[in-house]
Amino acid sequence: MATVGCAITQPDRPAGYAFRSQPDNLVFHWNAGRMPVRYWAEPKGALPAYVDEGIRSWEDQFLYGEFEGTRITDSTTMQVRIEITGSAPPTAPLSTAPPAPACDGRTTLTVGTDNHMALPIVVTLRWFAGFTAEQVANCLARVTVHEIGHTIGLLQHSDRVTDIMYGAPFGVVQARELSSRDGASAQRLYHTASDITP
């Protein structure tokens, strides 16, 4: 009998990061009956375009349409509202310039006692003076993708700077696009039973 020695190479399957709400430890994701999720973006600056790109980026992580979103212009039926505080931000072509803390964002999810998500989920973005238009545009585009990640149910942050879901308390969002870990986390989330119903 011959023995064959071979090196087993582990497939590169990034496990991703945790997504349960804290401290409740609940899972939230949209279910098939509520798709496509209806996003409304305040028509300020290039926000609608950033939202379109954010929705598309997350949809692209799924093979079978587990998550689908669409941007609507009539806010009466919105399930997610994305707004920018204050005046319209400057617009500029997106670039690969180093990230600057020219903006931030917050996603507010309100869960009732019956574990029912109150809609709409609200994303509030802010941009800051003292930065170039390019820095503000790059920041808002990036943070919009990150906040949309929260709205699909990724309710925790990654501690790796290369993930789009990297963020407070670790630092500011720096990645320009989704990593394989972002994709793996989203896929794992949509194949986990949701505790919260939208």
The closest of 69, 89, 84 to 148, measured between CA atoms, is: 69
- Among all residues, whose Cβ is closest to Zn ion? 167
The residues that bridge with 71 in the sheet, in sequence order, are 39
Site track 23-62 with Zn ion (rule: CB under 5 A), x = hit: ----------------------------------------
Write out the H or E segment, with its range, that includes residue 121.
strand 117-127
Judged by beta carbon, residue 91 or residue 128, the one nearer Zn ion is: 128
Tell the smallest beta-carbon distance from residue 125 to Zn ion (Å): 11
In order, the DSSP letters of 104-142 are EEEEEEEE-TTSBEEEEEEEEEEE-TTS-HHHHHHHHHH
Tell the smallest beta-carbon distance from residue 174 to Zn ion (Å): 12
Site track 132-171 with Zn ion (rule: CB under 5 A), x = hit: -----------------------------------x----
The residues that bridge with 164 in the sheet, in sequence order, are none
Q: Which residues are near Zn ion by CB under 5 A?
A: 167
